[in-house]
């Protein structure tokens, strides 16, 4: 399909080819699913909501529930206020969520719908809540939408009652429920009281019970979102997805933030543990130290398989930054690093990391996969790391692919297993080394085809 991509690279400003991102409402919908008994609501056309639900359903292999304002020509001309007010009334009457999280779309943003006013005028039953986030699809990416919805949670809900709760807030970023479970496991091992928001574990990875539950048991409780204003500190994991919510907590209720990398790899996990230890005074338990030692042992055992291998990394900025750092820890060489999400901070941070390591590479924010493929045509690498959309390039350029990030549409079970923490590092090393060994076996002559590596 992509065999006709030209080798010659030219700078483009007017067109994106094969995007390396998707639109804001998908991120906002995913964040909203991380609130217990929340129904995400798409303020736009039915087609937008269907696309966003479908994309999430295919990644998580779980039904994603959301409602829509169902814009038609009338709403496009006269505004969607009537649609939203009717939707709020019907949703609470029929589906009975505790909270509705409204996000906008291209159409409602373009016509300038005033959501705060519409929500104030809506008939919200006693004890129920409606929040919103502005998420125009023509700006940012799904990571921006996730960030905006998290910020909306804080704006509408978090309060400081004057009674410190002795907890820390964790904003995990746009990661899988398996990653959120792993972060919570680590914090529990440290004996730390925490509030994680959003938390999609127990929601998009809920077990099969034989009966359908529209609102599974998982998700951050509303009372915990409110109580986040009483916490001693906020740890934002991933600057692009989590900083806005942490900063809003600082401005609104004076909870101090610390922004860290997504805890992928040894160094980033070390930083998370040390930050938690500094804030809470808790010591790192022996079982976590043991896991770290196991990662180091695995890296030593398998270093000959990936040491010096060149890699191209693409996807969401927080994941790409963390994966770049981890591949450098492993002794790999990131030659091409690209995200579709805009932000000069991405290029600054990655370039600084590569300069320190003495690696020359091409780094681009607001990039697309057409650009990445042109780079690979100019000089191939040994491995490609990114989401499902990389498989087309992997086939065209004959480069093995390790699937990491969002979305992964052509494989299953990935969202249940973490890539964060020391356990996640072990999994990533296994995935990378085994993929490289599979390629070695595929290309080996008969006399070099060994049973033991």
CA distance 150 to 234: 13
Please give the pLDDT value at position 1.
53
3-class state of residue 336 by DSSP: strand
427-430 long-range contacts (CB < 8 A, ≥24 apart) are: 428/264, 428/265, 428/326, 428/404, 429/295, 429/298, 429/299, 429/302, 429/306, 429/330, 430/298
Residue-range domain boundaries for the chain: 24-153, 168-283, 287-447
Please give the pLDDT value at position 59.
97
| CATH code for the domain defined by 287-447 | 3.40.50.1980
CA distance 270 to 107: 44
Element (H, E) at 356: helix 344-357
- Say if residue 274 is preceded by a cis peptide, omega within 30 of 0: no
The parts of the chain modelled with pLDDT lower than 70 are 1, 453
CA distance 123 to 88: 7
Residues forming a β-bridge with 222? none
Strand spans (E) along 288-382:
310-315, 333-339, 362-364
Q: What class has domain 24-153?
A: alpha beta
The architecture (CATH level 2) of 168-283 comes to 3-Layer(aba) Sandwich (3.40)
Domains 24-153 and 287-447 share a fold: yes
Residues 6+ apart with CB under 8 A from 78: none
């Amino acid at each position: 399909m992509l065999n006709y991509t030209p080798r010659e690279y030219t700078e483009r400003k007017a067109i994106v080819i094969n995007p390396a991102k998707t639109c804001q409402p998908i991120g906002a919908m995913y964040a909203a699913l991380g609130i217990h008994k929340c129904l995400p609501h798409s303020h736009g056309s039915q087609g937008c909501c269907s696309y966003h639900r479908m994309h999430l359903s295919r990644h998580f292999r779980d039904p994603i529930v959301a409602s829509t304002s169902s814009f038609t020509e009338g709403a496009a001309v006269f505004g969607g206020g009537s649609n939203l007010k009717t939707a709020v009334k019907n949703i609470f009457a029929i589906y009975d969520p505790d909270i509705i999280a409204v996000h906008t779309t291209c159409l409602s943003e373009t016509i300038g719908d005033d959501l705060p006013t519409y929500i104030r005028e809506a008939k919200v039953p006693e004890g129920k809540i409606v929040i919103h986030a502005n998420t125009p699809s023509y700006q940012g990416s799904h990571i921006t939408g996730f960030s905006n919805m998290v910020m909306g949670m804080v704006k509408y809900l978090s309060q400081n009652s004057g009674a410190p709760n002795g907890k820390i807030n964790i904003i995990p970023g746009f990661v899988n429920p398996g990653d959120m479970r792993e972060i919570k496991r680590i914090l529990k091992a440290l004996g730390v009281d925490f509030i994680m928001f959003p938390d999609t574990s127990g929601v998009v990875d809920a077990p099969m019970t034989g009966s359908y539950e529209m609102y599974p048991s998982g998700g951050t409780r509303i009372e915990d979102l409110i109580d986040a204003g009483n916490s001693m500190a906020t740890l934002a994991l991933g600057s692009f997805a989590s900083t806005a919510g942490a900063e809003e907590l600082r401005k609104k209720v004076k909870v101090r933030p610390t922004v860290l990398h997504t805890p992928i790899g040894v160094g980033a996990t070390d930083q998370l543990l040390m930050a938690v230890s500094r804030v809470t005074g808790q010591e790192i338990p022996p079982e976590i130290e043991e896991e770290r030692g196991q990662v180091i042992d695995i890296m030593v055992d398998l270093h000959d398989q990936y040491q010096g291998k060149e890699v191209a990394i693409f996807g969401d900025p927080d994941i790409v930054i963390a994966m770049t750092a981890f591949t450098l820890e492993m002794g790999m060489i990131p030659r091409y690093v690209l995200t579709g999400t805009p932000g000069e901070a991405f290029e600054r941070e990655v370039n600084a990391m590569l300069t320190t390591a003495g690696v020359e590479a091409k780094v681009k924010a607001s990039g697309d996969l057409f650009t990445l493929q042109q780079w690979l045509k100019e000089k191939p690498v040994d491995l490609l790391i990114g989401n499902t959309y990389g498989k087309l390039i992997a086939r065209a350029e004959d480069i093995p692919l390790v699937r990491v990030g969002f979305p992964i549409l052509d494989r299953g079970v990935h969202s249940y297993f973490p890539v964060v923490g020391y356990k996640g590092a072990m999994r990533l090393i296994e995935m990378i080394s085994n993929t490289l060994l599979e390629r070695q076996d595929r290309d080996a002559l008969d006399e070099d085809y060994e049973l033991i590596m």
